[in-house]
Amino acid sequence: MLKLYYTPISVNSRRVWVALLEKQIAFEPLALNLDGDQFEPDFLGINPFHRIPVLVDGDLTVVESLAILDYIDAKYPAPPLLPTEVKALGIVRMVEMVTLNELLPAMFPLTRQLLCREILRKSWHSQSNRY
């Protein structure tokens, strides 16, 4: 069975997760906490770049979400993820790349701020419950 290393909050993981669901492919989800799990030697052996998502299919390991989508689509063609009409295909690939290379990096400062605020709030709650 396919194995998917992922983190629920990760949009990069989610695009692979959604593709697997769309194609009704069974997979084993392996959740990582990105506060250190990604630097564990076992995971670095799977992806030395310490990033999720990672798809493992037998002796093949695929990293990079768009490469994973291509692999899934080639191996399980129905239903297809990509259009065949040339213009539509060009637009889909462009949107994929712009999302990954332009929009996501631009969102990082905002998500980091929100995540830090959430972590501080949780830490404040757990400390105030102690006294």
Q: Is 65 in the site for ligand GSH (CB under 6 A)?
A: yes
Number of residues in contact with ligand GSH, rule: CB under 6 A? Answer: 11
The window from 51-59, 72-80, 90-98, 108-116 that contacts ligand GSH (CB under 6 A) reads: 51-59
Q: Are 53 and 4 spatial neighbours (Cβ–Cβ below 8 Å)? A: yes
Q: 67 in helix, strand or coil?
A: helix
The one among 19, 25, 30, 100 contacting ligand GSH by CB under 6 A? 100
Residue 65 annotated to the active site: no
Q: In whole angstroms, how close is the CB of 128 to ligand GSH at the nearest point?
A: 31
The span from the CA of 37 to the CA of 31, in Å, is: 9
Between CA 110 and CA 115 the distance in angstroms is 9
Q: In the numeric block, which tokens belong to residue 95? A: 């949107």
- Please identify which residue in 12, 17, 56, 72 interacts with ligand GSH, judged by CB under 6 A: 12
Angstrom distance (rounded) from CA 63 to CA 54: 5
Point out which residues bind ligand GSH (CB under 6 A). Answer: 10, 12, 34, 38, 50-53, 64-65, 100
